Amino acid sequence: MATSLIENDWTGEDVSIAQIERELARLRSESAKEGAQPNLRTSVMTHIAWAPPEWQSAAEETLAGMAERHPSRTLLLVPRPDDPDGLDALLSLRCFPIGDRAVCGEVIELALRGNRAFAPASIVLPLLISDLPVFCRWRGEPRWDSTEFEQLTGIVDRLIVDSTEWPDLPAAYAQLAELFSKVVVSDIAWERTERWRSLLASLWPAVGGVQAIRVQGTRAQGHLLAGWLRSRLGHDVELEIEEREVLEGIDLDGQAAPFPPGRPPNASDVLSAQLDRFSRDPFYEAAARAAAA
Amino acid sequence: MTGPEHNPLADGLNLRRRPDGCNLVIFGASGDLTSKKLMPALYSLAVRQLLPEHFGIVGAARTEESDDQFRERMKRAVQEHSRDEFDQEVWDGLAGGMHYITLDFADEKGEDELRDTLTKLDEERGTGGNRVYYFAVPPSAIGTIVDEIAERRAAEGWIRLIIEKPFGHDLQSARDLNTRLQEHFAENEVFRIDHYLGKETVQNMLALRFANGIFEPIWNRQFIDHVQITVAESIGIEGRAGYYEQAGAIRDIFQNHLLQLVAITAMEPPIDFTADSVRNEKVKVLKAMHTPGPKHVIRGQYGAGFVEGEAVRGYREEDAVAPGSMTETFVAAKLYVDNWRWADTPFYVRMGKRLARRETTIAVQFKRAPHPPFEDAAAEGLRPNVLLIHVQPNEGVSLAIGAKVPGQGMTIRTVHMDFLYGGAFREGLPEAYERLILDAMLGDATLFTRSDETEEQWALVDAIVSFWQRDRPSFPNYASGTWGPATSDELLHRDGRSWRRH
pLDDT digits (tens, 9 = 90+) for A238-248: 999 999 998 99
> In chain A, which residue's Cα lies nearest the Cα of B50?
A262
Rounded to whole angstroms, how far apart are CA atoms B306 and B356? 9
Average pLDDT over residues B431-453: 92
Rounded to whole angstroms, how far apart are CA atoms B492 and B346? 10
Of A156, A180, A210, the one marking the end of a domain is A156
CA of A222 vs chain B CAs: smallest distance (Å): 16
From chain A, the residues in CB contact with B9 under 8 A are 197, 200-201, 204, 207, 228-229, 232-233
Split at pLDDT 50, 70, 90, the class of B459 is very high
pLDDT in tens, B109-136: 888 888 889 999 888 888 889 999 999 9
Among B226, B257, B296, B390, the one annotated catalytic: B257
Residue B334 forms beta bridges with which residues?
A: B348
Q: Is B22 within 8 Å of B134 (Cβ atoms)?
A: no
Name which of B94, B92, B85 is nearest B428 in CA terms.
B85
Say if strands A134-138 and A158-161 run parallel, antiparallel, or are unpaired.
parallel
Residue type, A154: G
Domain identity same for A146 and A42: yes
Domain identity same for A13 and A148: yes
Q: Rg of chain B's alpha carbons, rounded to an integer?
A: 25
| Percentage of chain A modeled with pLDDT above 90 | 53
From chain B, the residues in CB contact with A204 under 8 A are 7, 9-10
pLDDT score recorded for residue A226: 97
Residue A285 maps to a domain? yes
Please name the member of B12, B393, B427 whose beta carbon is closest to the beta carbon of A69: B427
Rounded to whole angstroms, how far apart are CA atoms B266 and B416? 24
pLDDT in tens, A100-134: 667 777 889 999 999 999 989 888 988 887 777 88
CA of B472 vs chain A CAs: smallest distance (Å): 41
Domain identity same for A110 and A231: no
Q: Rg of chain A's alpha carbons, rounded to an integer?
A: 21
Q: Of the ranges A18-32, A178-192, B16-30, which one carries the lowest mean pLDDT score?
A: A18-32
Is residue B218 predicted with pLDDT exceeding 80? yes
Residue A58 maps to a domain? yes
- Contacts (Cβ under 8 Å, ≥6 apart) of B310: none
| Percentage of chain A modeled with pLDDT above 70 | 88
Interchain CB distance below 8 Å, A198 and B394: no
Residue A34 maps to a domain? yes
pLDDT score recorded for residue A174: 96
Interchain CB distance below 8 Å, B13 and A201: yes
Q: Bigger pLDDT: A9 or B430?
A: A9
Domain identity same for A152 and A11: yes
Residue A181 maps to a domain? no
Please name the member of A98, A201, A282 whose beta carbon is closest to the beta carbon of B9: A201
Residue A110 forms beta bridges with which residues?
A: A77, A89
Split at pLDDT 50, 70, 90, the class of B199 is confident
Name which of B144, B261, B248 is nearest B203 in CA terms.
B261
Indicate the length of chain B as a whole number.
502
Edge to edge, the sheet with strand B302-307 lists: B310-312, B302-307, B478-480
| Phi, then psi, of A160 in degrees rounded to 5 | -115, 120
Rounded to whole angstroms, how far apart are CA atoms B73 and A255? 44
Say if strands B386-392 and B359-366 run parallel, antiparallel, or are unpaired.
antiparallel
Rounded to whole angstroms, how far apart are CA atoms B11 and A282? 10
Split at pLDDT 50, 70, 90, the class of B239 is confident
Q: Bigger pLDDT: A272 or A158?
A: A158
Is residue B345 predicted with pLDDT exceeding 70? yes
Average pLDDT over residues B357-363: 92
Say if strands A73-80 and A101-113 run parallel, antiparallel, or are unpaired.
parallel
Of A156, A177, A200, the one marking the end of a domain is A156
Q: Of the ranges A157-166, A281-290, B142-151, B409-418, which one carries the lowest mean pLDDT score?
A: B409-418
Rounded to whole angstroms, how far apart are CA atoms B432 and B439? 11
pLDDT score recorded for residue A197: 93
How high does pLDDT run on average in chain A?
86
Residue A98 maps to a domain? yes
Interchain CB distance below 8 Å, A103 and B10: no
From chain A, the residues in CB contact with B418 under 8 A are 40
| Phi, then psi, of B49 in degrees rounded to 5 | 55, 40
Interchain CB distance below 8 Å, B8 and A261: no
Residue A208 maps to a domain? yes
Average pLDDT over residues B255-279: 93
Q: Which of B48, B390, B426, B429 to mutate to test the interface with A (most CBs of A within 10 A)?
A: B426
pLDDT score recorded for residue A287: 97
- B493 is an active site residue: no
Residue type, B105: F
Is residue B344 predicted with pLDDT exceeding 70? yes
- The structure's pTM equals 0.80
Cβ neighbour number for residue A174 with a 10 Å cutoff: 15
Interchain CB distance below 8 Å, B13 and A194: yes
From chain A, the residues in CB contact with B422 under 8 A are 98, 103
Domain identity same for A239 and A129: no
Split at pLDDT 50, 70, 90, the class of A28 is confident
Split at pLDDT 50, 70, 90, the class of B355 is very high
Tell me how many domains chain A contains: 2
Domain identity same for A119 and A34: yes
**DSSP 8-state symbol, B38:** I
Domain identity same for A142 and A22: yes
Q: Is B335 within 8 Å of B255 (Cβ atoms)?
A: no
Residue A164 maps to a domain? no
Rounded to whole angstroms, how far apart are CA atoms B192 and A282? 41
Name which of B302, B285, B265, B250 is nearest B391 in CA terms.
B265
Three-state DSSP state, B27: strand
Domain identity same for A126 and A224: no
State the residue range of the domain holding A259: 191-264+279-292
Domain identity same for A133 and A200: no
Interchain CB distance below 8 Å, B426 and A101: no
HEC letters along chain A: CCCCEEEEEEEECCCCHHHHHHHHHHHHHHHCCCCCCCCEECCCCEEEEECCHHHHHHHHHHHHHHCCCCCCEEEEEEEECCCCCEEEEEEEEEEEEECCEEEEEEEEEEEEEHHHHHCHHHHHHHHCCCCCCEEEEECCCCCCCCHHHHHHHHHCCEEEECHHHCCCCCHHHHHHHCCCCCCEEEEHHHHCCHHHHHHHHHCCCHHHHCCEEEEEECHHHHHHHHHHHHHHHCCCCEEEEEECCCCCEEEECCEECCCCCCCCCCHHHHHHHHHCCCCCCHHHHHHHHHHHC
pLDDT score recorded for residue B16: 63
From chain B, the residues in CB contact with A270 under 8 A are none
The angle at the Cα of A115, spanning A109 to A119, to the nearest 5 degrees, equals 65
Residue B173 forms beta bridges with which residues?
A: none
- Spell out which chain A residues touch chain B, with contact meaning CB-CB distance below 8 angstroms: 1, 40, 42, 44, 68-71, 96, 98-99, 101, 103, 194, 197-198, 200-201, 204-205, 207, 228-229, 232-234, 261-262, 281-284
Interchain CB distance below 8 Å, A204 and B393: no
Rounded to whole angstroms, how far apart are CA atoms B92 and B36? 19
Domain identity same for A83 and A34: yes
Q: Is B378 within 8 Å of B415 (Cβ atoms)?
A: no
Interchain CB distance below 8 Å, A103 and B11: no
Rounded to whole angstroms, how far apart are CA atoms B37 and B78? 9
Average pLDDT over residues B130-149: 89
Domain identity same for A17 and A152: yes
Residue A172 maps to a domain? no
Domain identity same for A11 and A134: yes
Interchain CB distance below 8 Å, B9 and A283: no
Helix axes B259-266, B275-288, angle to 10 degrees: 100
Average pLDDT over residues B346-354: 97
Please name the member of B9, B420, B426 whose beta carbon is closest to the beta carbon of A207: B9
Name which of B164, B125, B122 is nearest B141 in CA terms.
B164
Of A156, A175, A203, the one marking the end of a domain is A156
Please name the member of A232, A261, A284 whose beta carbon is closest to the beta carbon of B8: A232
Is residue B374 predicted with pLDDT exceeding 80? no
The angle at the Cα of B423, spanning B417 to B424, to the nearest 5 degrees, equals 90
Q: Of the ranges A8-22, A179-193, A268-282, B346-360, which one carries the lowest mean pLDDT score?
A: A268-282
Interchain CB distance below 8 Å, B7 and A262: no
Rounded to whole angstroms, how far apart are CA atoms A280 and A187? 11
Q: Bigger pLDDT: B232 or A105?
A: B232
Name which of B193, B170, B174, B194 is nearest B182 in CA terms.
B174
Cβ neighbour number for residue A192 with a 10 Å cutoff: 22
